[in-house]
Amino acid sequence: MPPEGRRRRIEPRSGVAFELAAGQTLTVIDPMGQQVADLLAFNAADIGEVISSGRTLDYANKIYLTTGDPLYSNRSNVMLDIVEDMVGRHDFLLTPCSKDTFRIIYGDTDPHRGCFGNLAAALATYGVTEDMIPTAFNVFMNVPVDASGSFQVLPPLSRPGDHIKFVARMDLVIGLTACSALQSNGGSFKPIEWEIG
DSSP conformation class of 96: P
DSSP conformation class of 21: -
Which CB atom, from 29 or from 143, has the smaller least distance to its own copies?
143
Binding mask 10-29 for its own copies (x = CB under 8 A): --------------------
Binding mask 133-172 for its own copies (x = CB under 8 A): xxx--------xxxxxxxxx--------------------
Tell me: does residue 67 bind its own copies (CB under 8 A): no
Query: How far is the C-alpha of 65 from the C-alpha of 145, rounded, in Å?
Result: 14
Query: How far is the C-alpha of 95 from the C-alpha of 116, rounded, in Å?
Result: 8
Minimum CB distance to its own copies, residue 98 (Å): 7
Query: How far is the C-alpha of 114 from the C-alpha of 168, rounded, in Å?
Result: 26
Minimum CB distance to its own copies, residue 43 (Å): 10
- The bridge status of strand 192-196 relative to strand 8-10 is antiparallel
Which CB atom, from 4 or from 58, has the smaller least distance to its own copies?
58
Minimum CB distance to its own copies, residue 60 (Å): 9
Tell me: does residue 107 bind its own copies (CB under 8 A): no
Query: Which phi and psi (to 5°) does residue 137 adopt?
Result: -85, 110
Instruction: Answer whether 66's CB lies under 8 Å from 60's CB.
Output: no
DSSP conformation class of 34: S
Please choose, from the candidates 26, 24, 25, 30, the residue with its C-alpha nearest in 3D space to the C-alpha of residue 9: 30
Minimum CB distance to its own copies, residue 86 (Å): 18
Other Cβ atoms less than 10 A from the Cβ of 17: the count is 21
Q: Which one of 6-14, 101-109, 120-128, 187-195 is the stretch in contact with its own copies (CB under 8 A)?
A: 101-109
End-to-end, the C-alpha distance of the chain in Å comes to 12
Q: Which of 62, 161, 188, 197 binds its own copies (CB under 8 A)?
A: 62
Q: Which of 75, 84, 108, 124 binds its own copies (CB under 8 A)?
A: 75
Interface residues toward its own copies, by CB under 8 A: 48-50, 52-55, 57-59, 61-64, 74-76, 93-95, 98, 100-101, 104-105, 130-131, 133-135, 144-152
